[in-house]
Chain A
Amino acid sequence: MRSFVALFRKELRSYFGSPLVYLVAAAFLAYTGYYFHSDLIYFITFGFGLNIMENFWQILLIDIRLVLIFAIPLLTMRLLAEERRLGTLELLLTYPLGDRAIVAAKLGACLVVIGALLGGTLVYPAWVYHVQPFALKPLVAGYLGLILFSLACASYGLFVSSLTDSQVLAGFLTALPLLLLWLLSWNEAASAAGTLPVVRAISLFNHFQPFSVGLVELRDVFYFAFVAGLFVWATLRVLEARQWRGRR
C-alpha cells in the first residue's frame, strides 16, 4: 500500500511538474467555456420548451465529452510510454511493487487530473444556478456519466501507452478510435439494419446519451466499467509479457 501511494504521488508530481497539464487544462477550460457560452445563448434564444436539462445541459455535457476525447489522450500518452522511452520502467518493475499497484497508481493519478479538469467546469452550473436555480440531480447523473466515460477512455489510453515508447504514437492511437467510437452512430441511417444494434451497443455516444439527460442506466454503467476493466486487464498483460518471453 505504501509503495502504491509513493508511485501515485510521484505520478501526480510528474503531471503537475510538466507544462503539458497546464496547457491541456487551459485548452480544456477554454473550449468548454466557449461551449458553455454558445450553448447557453442557443438555449436562451430558441428555448425549446424550457427543459433546461434536455435543451441546455445535455448539449453542454456532450460537448464537454467531445473536448475530453481530445484532452484524455494528451494526459494518458505519457503514462507508460515515457517510462519505456526513458528506461525507468525496468527499475520500476524491479522495485517491491506489483504490476497492479503500478497500473492502479498511474490510472489513479490520471483520473485525479481529469477530475480536476471536470471540477473546473462546475463553475458553469454554479453560475447558472446562481442566476436561476434548477433541478441538480439530473446534472449529477450527467457528471457521473462524464466520470465513467473518462475512466473508460483513460484506461484505454493507459493500455495504448503501454504498447509503445512513443508518446506521440500513443496519443494518436488513443484519440483516433475514441473519436471513431463516438462518431459511429451519429448517422444511424448510414448503418445497415443488421449492424445498427451492434453499432449502438459499442458506440460511446449511445451509452453516454442517457447520462446527459439525467438517466443512470445500469447497462450504460456496466458498459463503461467493462471497457475500463478490459483495458486495465490488457495493460496488466502487456506489463506481464516480459515474463512470458523465453518461457517454454
Chain B
Amino acid sequence: MISVEHLTKYYGTTCAVDDVSFTIGRGEVAALLGPNGSGKSTLMRVLTGYFPPTAGRVCIDGADVAEQPAAARRRIGYLPEQVSLYPELTVRRYLAFVAEVKGLGGRARRAAVADAIARCGLAEVADRLAGKLSKGYRQRVGLAQALVGDADVLVLDEPTVGLDPMQTVEMRALLRTLAGRTMLLSTHILSEAAALCSRIVILSRGRLVAVDTPEGLAQRLAGLAQLAVRVDGPADTVAAALGTLPGVVRVERRRPDGLAGTPFALFAHDPEPVQRALGAAMVARGWTLLEVRASPPTLEDLFVHLVGSADRPGS
C-alpha cells in the first residue's frame, strides 16, 4: 500500500533521509520511530507529496507521489506535527472545507463531516472557533481532517506529542478504533509504537536502522541482558571499572534519581558472571554496591542498542 524505494532527501547539502526503503501492507499499522531530527517528518512530508524526494520514489497504492500527486494525495490523510487550523472557522466549517477540497459535495460531505466529528469526539466543540480550542481538541481536529474523505492511508506525524497523559490515552484509544486503515505514525515514544503498531520502522540520522515487528525486535534483544546497578562511589571511575568486568558489553550511566549512589545500566550477553564478579570488584575498590537487579530488555534498550547511544535524544 505504501512503498518507499531508495528514498533520499537533501536540504541543500544536508542529507535528511538517506536511501530508505520499506513497504507497508494494506491495513497495516506501522510506526516510524527515531530520535528528534532523525528524518521522520521529512520522510512523511515526501510521503504526503508536500515536496518530492531528491532520489528514489514513493508509491501510495501504486500511484507515484511525485508523478501523480493528485491521485496519491486523494488517498492520504495527513496529520502534521504542528496541527495548524484556521482560527476564524468553526470546527464544523473547517471540516466541511477539508471535505470539499478532497472532492466531496452535498450529502456526502455532510455525512463525512458528521462521521469525523463523531469518531473523534468533537461533538462538544463542533461549533466553536478552531482558534479557541485546547491542544487536545486541536489534535483531534487534526486527526478528523485527516480522516475526512475516507482516506485509506493515514500519515500521522507525532499524533500524541504535546498532549497531557489523559489526552494521550484518549488519542491512543482513538487511533486504535481506526484499525483497518493503513497507517504510518511517527513517534519517539517506544511504548506507543509497541502498543499501537504491528510493524516498526526505525530511523536514525536519516538512515533506516531496522524494520521489524515489535516481537521480532524484542527477540533481537534476547541475547542482550540488562543489569540495573547502583554504586556509591566516584561516578566516572565507577563507570570505567564496570566496563572492565568480564562479559560487559556496554555501561550506561542513568540519570541520578535522588536516591543514594549513582545508577548504571550494564549490558551483557550473559548476565550471570557479571553478577558474580560485581560485588567483589566494587568492594576491592572501597565502593559500596547498593543495588543489583536484572531487568528484562525493553524496546528502549533495543533502540539504544541499534542506533547507538550517541544518537539518543538529549545526549
Point out residues on A near B: beta carbons under 8 Å.
Answer: 2-3, 5-7, 9-10, 13-14, 17-18, 86-88, 90-91, 93-98, 242-243, 245-248
Q: A86-B86, A246-B10 are in contact. Are A94 and B76 (CB under 8 A)?
A: yes
C-alpha spacing A95/B48, complex, angstroms: 9
Confirm or deny: B145 has a beta carbon within 8 angstroms of a beta carbon on chain A.
yes
Assess whether B62 is interfacial by the CB under 8 Å rule. Answer: no
> Chain A: interface secondary structure?
helix
Contact B54 A246 (CB under 8 A): yes
Q: Are A86 and B50 in contact (CB under 8 A)?
A: no
Contact (Cβ within 8 A) A3 B48: no
User: 29 A-B pairs, CB-CB below 8 angstroms?
Assistant: A2-B105, A3-B100, A5-B100, A6-B97, A6-B101, A9-B97, A10-B97, A14-B86, A18-B88, A87-B84, A88-B85, A90-B80, A90-B84, A91-B78, A91-B145, A95-B73, A96-B103, A98-B70, A242-B51, A243-B51, A243-B52, A245-B11, A245-B12, A245-B51, A246-B51, A247-B52, A247-B54, A248-B10, A248-B55
Q: For the complex, what is the distance from the CA of A3 to the CA of B55, rounded to whole Å?
A: 30
Residues from chain A with Cβ under 8 Å of B69 in the complex: 96
Establish whether residues B82 and A17, one from each chain, have CB atoms under 8 Å apart when the complex forms: no
Q: Are B145 and A246 in contact (CB under 8 A)?
A: no
A88: chain B residues within 8 A (beta carbon)? 84-86
Instruction: Note all chain A residues with C-beta closer than 8 A to B55.
Output: 248
**Which residues from A are CB-within-8-Å of B87?**
86
A23–chain B nearest beta-carbon distance, Å: 15
Complex formed: what's the CA distance from A88 to B130 in Å?
12
Q: Within the assembled complex, what's the spacing in Å between the Cα atoms of A93 and B49?
A: 8
CB of B266, distance to nearest CB on chain A (Å): 42
Chain B contacts with A in 1-57, Cβ cutoff 8 A: 9-12, 16, 45, 48-52, 54-55
Q: Please, which residues of chain A bring their CB within 8 A of the CB of B78?
A: 91, 94
Q: How far is the CB of A3 from chain B (nearest CB, A)?
A: 4
Name the A residues within 8 Å of B85 (CB-CB): 86, 88
CA distance A9 to B102 in the complex (A): 14
Contact between chains at B101 and A95 (CB < 8 Å): yes
Is the Cβ of B105 less than 8 Å from the Cβ of A91? no
CB-CB under 8 A from B45, the residues of chain A are 90
Q: Taking CB as reference atom, which chain B residue is nearest A6?
A: B100
B274 in the interface (beta carbon within 8 A)? no
Q: How far is the CA of A246 from the CA of B145 in the complex (A)?
A: 29
Determine the chain A residues whose CB is within 8 A of the CB of B97 once the complex forms. 6-7, 9-10
Contact in complex: A96, B50 (CB < 8 Å):
no
Q: Is the CB of B103 within 8 A of A10?
A: no
Are B101 and A242 neighbours in the complex by a CB distance under 8 Å? no
The residue on B at minimum CB distance from A16 is B88
Residues of B close to A91: CB separation below 8 A? 78, 80, 84, 145
B93 within 8 Å of A by Cβ?
yes
> Considering only CB atoms, which chain A residue lies closest to B47 in the complex?
A94
Q: Which of A6, A14, A246 contacts B12 (CB 8 A)?
A: A246
Contact A13 B73, beta carbon cutoff 8 Å: no
Give every chain B residue within 8 A of A10 (Cβ-Cβ): 86, 89, 97
Chain B proximity of A7: nearest CB distance (Å): 6
Q: Select the residue from A10, A93, A245 with max chain B CB neighbours within 10 A.
A: A10
Q: Given that A96-B74, A246-B54, A247-B52 are contacting pairs, would A17 and B100 also be in contact in the complex, using a CB cutoff of 8 Å?
A: no
Distance between Cα atoms of A42 and B240 in the complex (Å):
94
- B151-169 contacts to A, CB under 8 A, are none
Measured between beta carbons, the chain A residues less than 8 angstroms from B76 are: 94
**Least Cβ–Cβ distance between B81 and chain A, in angstroms:** 9
Q: How far is the CB of B221 from chain A (nearest CB, A)?
A: 35
B98 at interface, CB cutoff 8 A? yes
Residues of A within 8 A of B73 (CB): 94-96
Residue of A nearest to B79 (CB): A91
B102 / chain A contacts, CB cutoff of 8 Å: 3, 95-96
